[in-house]
Amino acid sequence: MTTTHEPPHNNSPVRAAEDATVTAATDDKVKLQQNNHDDSEPLRSSVRQGLEVFMQNRLAVAGAAIILLLTLFCFVGPFIHQTDQVHTNLADAYQDPGGPHPLGTDGVGYDTLGRLMVGGQTSIIIGLSAGLLATFIGTIWGATAGFLGGWIDAAMMRIVDALMAIPALFLFMLIATIVTPTVGLLVIIIGAFAWLNPARLIRGEAIALRSREYIVAMRGMGGGSVRAVRSHIVRNAIGTVIVNATFQVADAVLYVAYLSFLGLGVPPPAANWGGMLSSGLAEAYSSHWWLLYPPGVLIILLVIAFNFVGDGLRDAFEVRLRRR
């Protein structure tokens, strides 16, 4: 007797369900890719517009160029113009500019051009580090206070108001007279007390953002405050944070110059522009102009450059704010 085996049907219920699952997964993947693509397009467009706005600001471009040139001058220059900035040589003291010393020498024989390079490293490192530290502390403090609101916000901002009533420079001077200043200590001192303005600024942003629908919805679904501050408040206020950081760096550079000018900066043989300016001022009436004007001009250029860049970034981020 012949037995006939029927081939399995390709349209069985199990196979149909599998095909439907695969098709649905494929459709979801395609939709997700399309959504990601659609979301990335406005971001790229916003970045392009912001960059165009920044490049149209000639002062901002000039400021960025000055910062780049001064950074190269301070950190690459010593490899090209090599000098001894550790050991003094009184035989070379007060040499006029020219020859192996394009900007002359100071009272202990240090090459002034090489001193400017090494001193610029200290000023830039302290200013940049302290400015970023102040921005970080102020951002976290202000975002937390503004997001939580209520009595927590009131208490945190009263602390800010109390600290703002104390003259910052006086506080820096007081601490610098108690302990021996080092690069790390100056970064901590300046950064730990220069965060008050960023905190007030970011708090205002947080208050404006905490009532947005997506944040209210996230909190309604049980989202934590830490996640909200990190992922939404700070993220959406990043433009304000970056712009403020440039101004904080400029302020930190000035604070370093103030302290060093008053003799409370990093002690010799370490150099910085504020200390050089203080030493040069004592030579102002002895025709040694190269000891006074170069460090003063470089301090002014660096501070103005960061302020120009900050203004340009603020205009550029306004494009993103208009699209938000």
Domain segments of the chain: what residues? 113-324
Give the integer Cα–Cα distance in Å for 106 and 103: 9
Model confidence band, residue 214 (pLDDT cutoffs 50, 70, 90): low
- For residue 98, the SS3 value is strand
Give the integer Cα–Cα distance in Å for 61 and 53: 11
Q: Say whether the peptide bond before residue 269 is cis (omega within 30 degrees of 0).
A: yes
> Which of residues 321 and 199 earns the better pLDDT score?
199
**Residue 135 contacts residue 202 (beta carbons within 8 Å):** no
Instruction: Return the half-sphere exposure (C-beta side, CA atoms, 13 A cut-off) of residue 78.
Output: 14
- For residue 266, the SS3 value is coil
Q: Model confidence over 228-283: pLDDT tens digits?
A: 666 667 777 778 888 888 988 998 888 888 888 887 777 777 888 988 888 888 77
Model confidence band, residue 221 (pLDDT cutoffs 50, 70, 90): low
Instruction: Please determine, for residue 75, whether its predicted confidence score (pLDDT) is greater than 90.
Output: yes
Cα 80–chain centre separation: 28
Instruction: Please determine, for residue 67, whether its predicted confidence score (pLDDT) is greater than 90.
Output: yes
Helix (H) or strand (E) holding 269: none
**Residue 227 contacts residue 214 (beta carbons within 8 Å):** no
Give the integer Cα–Cα distance in Å for 249 and 123: 10
Helix pair angle (293-323, 238-261), 10° resolution: 170
Most confident of 116-125, 181-190, 229-238: 116-125
Helix (H) or strand (E) holding 307: helix 293-323
**Residue 190 contacts residue 136 (beta carbons within 8 Å):** no
pTM: 0.77
> Which of residues 235 and 53 earns the better pLDDT score?
53
> Which of residues 34 and 109 earns the better pLDDT score?
109
Model confidence band, residue 159 (pLDDT cutoffs 50, 70, 90): very high
CATH annotation of 113-324: 1.10.3720.10
Give the integer Cα–Cα distance in Å for 189 and 172: 7
Dihedral-angle region of residue 170 (phi above 0 means left; psi in -120 to 50 means alpha; beta otherwise):
alpha
**Residue 124 contacts residue 71 (beta carbons within 8 Å):** yes
109 strand-pairing partners: none
Would you state the pLDDT for residue 28? Answer: 47
Instruction: Please determine, for residue 25, whether its predicted confidence score (pLDDT) is greater than 50.
Output: no
Count of Cβ atoms closer than 10 Å to residue 169 Cβ: 14
101 strand-pairing partners: 98
- Averaged pLDDT, 14-26: 49
111 strand-pairing partners: 105
